Amino acid sequence: MARPIRVGIVGCGTVGTAVVEILLTQKERIREKAEVEIEISKVAARNWSKKRFFEVPENLRTTDWKEVVESSDIVVELIGGVDIAKDVVVESLKRAKPVITANKHLLAEYGREIASLMKKFKTFLFFEGAVGGGIPIVKVLKETLVSNQISEILGILNGTTNYILTKMEEENIPFNVALEEAQKKGYAEANPTFDVEGVDAAHKIAILANLAFGGFVKFSEIFVEGITNVDLLDIKLGKELGYRLKLLAIAKKRNGGEVEVRVHPTFIPFENPLSNVDGVFNGILFKSNYLGELKLQGAGAGAYPTATAVVQDIIQAAKQLTCCGKIFDITALGWNDKSLKVAKDFYSRYYLRFDVEDKPGVLYQIAKILAEEGISIAGVLQQEWILKFLPKPSKVIPLIILTHKAYESKLKRALEKLENLSFIKEKPTLIRVEEEKY
Ligand SMILES: NC(=O)c1ccc[n+]([C@@H]2O[C@H](COP(=O)([O-])OP(=O)(O)OC[C@H]3O[C@@H](n4cnc5c(N)ncnc54)[C@H](OP(=O)(O)O)[C@@H]3O)[C@@H](O)[C@H]2O)c1
Three-state helix/strand/coil letters over 56-67: CCHHHEECCHHH
Amino acid at 180: E
Asked whether residue 101 is domain-assigned, the answer is: yes
SS3 of residue 430 by DSSP: strand
Res. 392: pLDDT tops 80: no
How many whole angstroms separate alpha carbon 62 and alpha carbon 377? 63
13 within ligand 1 shell (Cβ under 6 A)? yes
Give yes or no: residues 117 and 159 share one domain.
no
**The predicted structure's pLDDT at residue 332:** 38
Res. 308: pLDDT tops 70: yes
76 within ligand 1 shell (Cβ under 6 A)? no
- Marked catalytic residue, from 167, 204, 253, 287: 204
Give yes or no: residues 391 and 314 share one domain.
no
Task: Say whether 204 is catalytic.
Answer: yes
Asked whether residue 263 is domain-assigned, the answer is: yes
Asked whether residue 185 is domain-assigned, the answer is: yes
Give yes or no: residues 122 and 178 share one domain.
no
The residue among 290, 323, 356 that closes a domain is: 323
Which residue lies with its CA nearest to atom 25 of ligand 1? 11
Q: Could you give the percent of the chain with pLDDT greater than 90?
A: 82
44 within ligand 1 shell (Cβ under 6 A)? yes
26 within ligand 1 shell (Cβ under 6 A)? no
245 within ligand 1 shell (Cβ under 6 A)? no
- Closest to 166 (Cα-Cα) out of 154, 152, 153, 156: 156
How many whole angstroms separate alpha carbon 99 and alpha carbon 431? 40
Give yes or no: residues 275 and 294 share one domain.
yes
Q: How confident is the model at residue 397 (pLDDT cuts 50, 70, 90)?
A: confident
Determine the distance from the C-alpha atom of residue 355 to the mean position of all C-alpha atoms in its chain, rounded to a whole number. Answer: 32
Q: Structurally, how many domains does the chain consist of?
A: 3
The alpha helices in 220-266, defined as continuous H runs, are 232-240
Asked whether residue 307 is domain-assigned, the answer is: yes
The pLDDT of 279-285, averaged and rounded, is: 97
CATH number assigned to the domain comprising residue 396: 3.30.70.260
Q: Which helix (H) or strand (E) holds 39?
A: strand 38-44
CA of 44 to the centre of ligand 1 (A): 10
- The angle subtended at Cα 66 by Cα 62 and Cα 69, nearest 5°, is 95
Q: How confident is the model at residue 395 (pLDDT cuts 50, 70, 90)?
A: confident
End-to-end Cα, the chain, rounded Å: 58
192 within ligand 1 shell (Cβ under 6 A)? no
- Closest to 386 (Cα-Cα) out of 398, 395, 402: 398
Q: Are 164 and 158 in contact (CB under 8 A)?
A: no
Asked whether residue 333 is domain-assigned, the answer is: no
pLDDT per position as a tens digit, 418-432: 988 988 888 999 999
How many whole angstroms separate alpha carbon 56 and alpha carbon 339? 43
Give yes or no: residues 23 and 47 share one domain.
yes
SS3 of residue 11 by DSSP: coil
CATH number assigned to the domain comprising residue 235: 3.30.360.10
Q: To test the ligand 1 pocket, which listed residue (22, 79, 200) has its Cβ within 8 A of the most ligand atoms?
A: 79
Res. 328: pLDDT tops 80: no
CA of 103 to the centre of ligand 1 (A): 9
Which residue range is the domain that position 38 belongs to?
5-134+303-323
Give yes or no: residues 146 and 276 share one domain.
yes
Give yes or no: residues 208 and 286 share one domain.
yes
pLDDT per position as a tens digit, 31-43: 999 999 999 999 9
Give yes or no: residues 168 and 293 share one domain.
yes
pLDDT per position as a tens digit, 188-221: 888 999 999 999 999 999 999 999 999 999 999 9
300 within ligand 1 shell (Cβ under 6 A)? no
How many whole angstroms separate alpha carbon 116 and alpha carbon 330? 12
How many whole angstroms separate alpha carbon 307 and alpha carbon 117? 25
Q: How many helices (H) and strands (E) does the chain have?
A: 15, 17
How many whole angstroms separate alpha carbon 386 and alpha carbon 367? 20
CA of 36 to the centre of ligand 1 (A): 26
pLDDT per position as a tens digit, 8-24: 999 999 999 999 999 99
pLDDT per position as a tens digit, 95-108: 999 999 999 999 99
Q: How confident is the model at residue 438 (pLDDT cuts 50, 70, 90)?
A: low
132 within ligand 1 shell (Cβ under 6 A)? no
- Closest to 103 (Cα-Cα) out of 83, 123, 85: 85
Q: Are 13 and 78 in contact (CB under 8 A)?
A: yes
Asked whether residue 86 is domain-assigned, the answer is: yes
Give yes or no: residues 285 and 399 share one domain.
no
Which residues lie below 8 Å from residue 55, measured CB to CB, with a gap of 6+? none
Other C-beta atoms lying within 10 Å of the C-beta of residue 379: 11
Asked whether residue 342 is domain-assigned, the answer is: no
The residue among 257, 289, 323 that closes a domain is: 323
Q: Could you give the percent of the chain with pLDDT greater than 70?
A: 96
Of ligand 1's listed atoms, the one at least distance from the Cα of 79 is 24
How many whole angstroms separate alpha carbon 220 and alpha carbon 231? 27
Q: What's the whole-number average pLDDT of the chain?
A: 93
Of ligand 1's listed atoms, the one at least distance from the Cα of 12 is 43
Q: Are 404 and 438 in contact (CB under 8 A)?
A: yes
Of ligand 1's listed atoms, the one at least distance from the Cα of 52 is 39
9 within ligand 1 shell (Cβ under 6 A)? no
Burial, 55: exposed, middle or buried (Cβ in 10 Å; 0-12, 13-18, 19+)? exposed
Q: To test the ligand 1 pocket, which listed residue (15, 60, 110) has its Cβ within 8 A of the most ligand atoms?
A: 15
How many whole angstroms separate alpha carbon 204 and alpha carbon 219? 10
65 within ligand 1 shell (Cβ under 6 A)? yes
**The predicted structure's pLDDT at residue 331:** 46
DSSP 335-392: --SSBPPBPSS-EEEEEEEEEEES-TTHHHHHHHHHHHTTPPEEEEE--HHHHTTSSS
Res. 230: pLDDT tops 70: yes
CA of 16 to the centre of ligand 1 (A): 7
Q: Which helix (H) or strand (E) holds 99?
A: strand 99-101
Give yes or no: residues 120 and 142 share one domain.
no
Which residue lies with its CA nearest to atom 14 of ligand 1? 14
Res. 333: pLDDT tops 80: no
Res. 408: pLDDT tops 70: yes
Res. 330: pLDDT tops 60: no
Of ligand 1's listed atoms, the one at least distance from the Cα of 303 is 3
Q: How confident is the model at residue 409 (pLDDT cuts 50, 70, 90)?
A: very high
CA of 393 to the centre of ligand 1 (A): 50
Give yes or no: residues 258 and 315 share one domain.
no
Give yes or no: residues 293 and 317 share one domain.
no
Asked whether residue 335 is domain-assigned, the answer is: no
183 within ligand 1 shell (Cβ under 6 A)? no
CA of 351 to the centre of ligand 1 (A): 39
